[in-house]
Amino acid sequence: MEFTAKMIADYLHGEVEGDENASVSALAKIEEAKSGELSFLSNPKYTPYIYTTQASIVLVNKDFKPEKPVKATLIRVENSYDCLAQLLTLYQQSKPQPQGVEQPSFVAEGVELPEQVYIGAFTYIGKGVKIGKNFKAYPQVYVGKNVKIGDNVTLYPGVKIYSDCVLGNNITLHSGVVVGGDGFGFAPEKDGTYTKIPQIGNVIIEDNVEVGANTTIDRATMGSTVIHKGAKLDNLIQVAHNCHVGSNTVMAAQCGIAGSTKIGANCMIGGQVGFAGHITVADGAKIGAQSGIDAAITDTSTYYLGAPAIPLKSFYKSHIIFKKLPDLDRQVYELQKQIKELQEKLK
């Protein structure tokens, strides 16, 4: 389908600057867009491309001031990035959605499937499972017994949900996610061996959560591991037993959270951050990539970086000294040599 600049502006409550009849049928990045495609400008880093882009329409913020003529028709909006997200959501919703129950698949006796449902081939739905409206389980999904699933939940291929876990509404779990595997609980014995501690808790994932591919969320030893509403977890994250991830917290790939750690709401956490066990992180904390968090974070007025993590200003000061260490080492060696020579002369 084709959409004109006027139609798009009306939908986004924006203002057209240029040809309101300019039309597009696809979306593309500003540096790669061609005629008939729509793009956007949000990051100032990409501003030079707006003067060379072949896009027919470009979304820009209302405060954008061009320094040279722009060939494309502009649609001025409050936030071009947010508006792009709205258009992408609309595009995604317009695509045909799979429906029905494919075979072979297994749905345990007594499980009631909603009218709008998709069960992909080789999917297993266990005994006592409760499923809400608009449920999608792509091929090779496993849902263990007594799992509770809310409305508008999508499980992509290979998702595994162990028994007794609870999923709220509007949840997306991408391929390979494992929810409810055993926590890493082993008791050391006198002879050096380890005895497994049964993990009898579960995992609760609240509303509006999205979890990236191959992320694992372990069940609690007792009680619940909880991913609170609105949290977004990237790919390849490990959430250990009895952890809590706060509402609207975002976490990039390859983070690891050790057992019983509580991360607050609205935190922003970079990739490959490691959290020690049994610590708390206050609401609103911001942590840079590859940081190591070995103690509680209570001050959220600063950005943390490093391993172990320290406030950003302290990290930069330390890094400056670290870069000078080879020169300082050489200077110390020369001073030691001179001191030794003076001591010999004094003798």
- pLDDT at position 347 is 77
Q: In the listed set 51, 76, 94, which residue is the last one of a domain according to the structure?
A: 94
Q: Is 278 in the same domain as 200? A: yes
CA distance 247 to 65: 37
Per-residue pLDDT tens over the stretch 176-191: 999 999 999 999 999 9
Q: In the listed set 54, 78, 94, which residue is the last one of a domain according to the structure?
A: 94
Query: What predicted TM-score, i.e. pTM, was given to this entire model?
Result: 0.87
Q: Is residue 214 part of a domain?
A: yes
232 neighbors 266 (Cβ within 8 angstroms): no
Contacts (Cβ under 8 Å, ≥6 apart) of 254:
234, 235, 236, 237, 271, 272
- pLDDT at position 237 is 98
Q: Is residue 144 part of a domain?
A: no
**Number of domains forming the structure of the chain:** 2
Statement: residue 312 has pLDDT above 90:
no
Q: Is 39 in the same domain as 165? A: no
297 neighbors 285 (Cβ within 8 angstroms): yes
The stretch 260-267 carries a mean pLDDT of 97
Q: Is 164 in the same domain as 287? A: yes
At 120, list the tokens. 């992909």
CA distance 254 to 274: 9
Q: Is 48 in the same domain as 175? A: no
Run of H or E including 345: helix 312-346
Q: Is residue 195 part of a domain?
A: yes
Q: Is residue 134 part of a domain?
A: no
Q: Is 180 in the same domain as 303? A: yes
Q: Is residue 226 part of a domain?
A: yes
The stretch 246-262 carries a mean pLDDT of 98
List the catalytic residues.
241
Q: Is 178 in the same domain as 296? A: yes
Q: In the listed set 40, 73, 94, which residue is the last one of a domain according to the structure?
A: 94
Largest CA distance in the chain: 98
Q: Is 166 in the same domain as 88? A: no
CA distance 257 to 255: 7
Per-residue confidence band for 302, with pLDDT thresholds at 50, 70 and 90: confident
Q: Is 263 in the same domain as 185? A: yes
In angstroms, the Cα distances linking 111 to 13, 39, 129, 145, 265 are 45, 45, 6, 10, 35
Per-residue pLDDT tens over the stretch 28-55: 999 999 999 999 999 999 999 999 999 9
Q: Is residue 249 part of a domain?
A: yes
Q: Is 56 in the same domain as 164? A: no
Mean pLDDT of the chain: 95
Per-residue confidence band for 196, with pLDDT thresholds at 50, 70 and 90: very high
Q: Is 84 in the same domain as 172? A: no
Per-residue confidence band for 283, with pLDDT thresholds at 50, 70 and 90: very high
Instruction: Please give the order of strands across the beta sheet that includes 171-173.
Output: 100-101, 117-119, 135-137, 153-155, 171-173, 210-211, 232-233, 250-251, 268-269, 286-287, 303-305, 310-311
- pLDDT at position 95 is 83
Residue 178 has phi, psi (to 5 degrees) of -120, 120
Q: Is residue 25 part of a domain?
A: yes
Per-residue confidence band for 139, with pLDDT thresholds at 50, 70 and 90: very high
Run of H or E including 59: strand 57-61
Statement: residue 313 has pLDDT above 90:
no
CA-closest candidate to residue 259, choices 176, 186, 159: 186
DSSP states along 170-192: SEEE-TT-EEEEPP--EEE-TTS
Q: Which domain holds residue 260?
A: 159-308
The percentage of residues in the chain with a pLDDT greater than 70, rounded to a whole number, is 100
At 118, list the tokens. 């998709």
Per-residue confidence band for 10, with pLDDT thresholds at 50, 70 and 90: very high
Neighbours of 154 (CB within 10 A): 18
Residue 43 has phi, psi (to 5 degrees) of -80, 120
Per-residue pLDDT tens over the stretch 79-133: 999 999 999 988 888 888 899 999 999 999 999 999 899 999 999 999 999 999 9
Q: Is 167 in the same domain as 82? A: no
The stretch 312-324 carries a mean pLDDT of 87
Q: Is residue 273 part of a domain?
A: yes
Q: Is 88 in the same domain as 164? A: no
Statement: residue 1 has pLDDT above 80:
no
CATH number of the domain bearing residue 297: 2.160.10.10
